[in-house]
Chain A
Amino acid sequence: MAIEKSEAIILRTLNFRDTSKILTAYTLDHGLVSLIAKGVRGPKPRFGSALEIFAHVDLVYYNKDSRDLQLLSQASLLEAHLGLASNLDRYRHACAVLEFLLKLLSGQEPPGKLYPLALRTLEVLEKAPVASLGSLFLAFQIKAVSFLGHRPELFSCISCRESLTEPVYFAPLHGGTVCDNCVVEVDGTRTITQSQLGFLQRLMKSTLAELFEDVPSSEFMADTRGIFELFLASQLDRYEPSRSLRQIPNRHALGLREALKAGDPLGN
Chain B
Amino acid sequence: MQFSSRSVESLVDELSKLPGVGKKSAQRLAFFLLKASRDDAMGLANAIRAIKDDVISCSECGNFTEDDPCMICTDPKRSRVVICVVEQPMDVLAIEASGGFRGQYHVLRGALNPLDKIGPDQIRARELVERVRRGEISEVILATNPNPPGEATAYFLSDLLQEFSVSVTRIARGIPVGGDLEYSDQATLARALEGRKPVETQ
Interface positions of A (Cβ within 8 A of B):
12, 17-18, 47-50, 52-54, 76-77, 80, 82, 84-88, 91-92, 95-96, 98-99, 102, 243-244, 247-249, 252-253, 256-257, 260, 265-267
A residues in contact with B152, CB < 8 Å: 85, 88, 91, 248
Contact of B121 among A87, A98, A253, A266 (CB under 8 A): A266
Q: Which residue of B lies closest to A263 (CB)?
A: B126
Chain A residue contacts of B184, Cβ below 8 A: 48
CB of B49 to closest CB in A, whole Å: 24
> Would A82 and B187 count as touching, CB distance under 8 A?
yes
Complex-state Cα separation, A248 to B186, whole angstroms: 29
CA distance A53 to B148 in the complex (A): 7
Contacts of A77 in B (CB 8 A): 185-187
Q: How far is the CB of A140 from chain B (nearest CB, A)?
A: 16
Report the bound CA distance from A87 to B117 in whole Å. Answer: 19
Q: A55: nearest residue on chain B (CB-CB)?
A: B187
- Interface segment among B67-75, B96-104, B157-165: the answer is B157-165
Closest residue on chain A to residue B188 by CB atoms: A48
| A243/B185 contact (C-beta < 8 A), A85-B155, A265-B121 known | no
In which size bucket is the chain B interface?
A: 20 to 34
Residues of chain B within 8 A (CB-CB) of A265 are 121
B109 CB–A CB distance under 8 Å: no
List 4 additional A-B contacts (Cβ < 8 Å) besides A82-B191, A88-B156: A82-B190, A84-B148, A243-B117, A244-B114
Indicate if the CB atoms of B188 and A53 lie closer than 8 Å: no
Q: Tell whether, in the assembled complex, residue B114 and residue A253 are in contact, meaning their CB atoms are under 8 Å apart.
A: no
The answer to whether residues A52 and B148 also contact, given A47-B185, A95-B115, A266-B119 and a CB cut-off of 8 A, is: yes
Q: Which residues of A contact B156 (CB under 8 A)?
A: 88
Q: Contacts A50-B185, A257-B163 hold; do A18 and B19 have CB atoms under 8 A apart?
A: yes
Query: What separation, in Å, do the CA atoms of A248 and B148 have in the docked complex?
Result: 14
Q: 17 A-B Cβ contacts within 8 A?
A: A12-B115, A17-B20, A18-B20, A48-B187, A49-B146, A49-B187, A53-B115, A53-B149, A82-B191, A85-B155, A88-B152, A92-B114, A243-B114, A244-B115, A260-B126, A260-B129, A266-B125
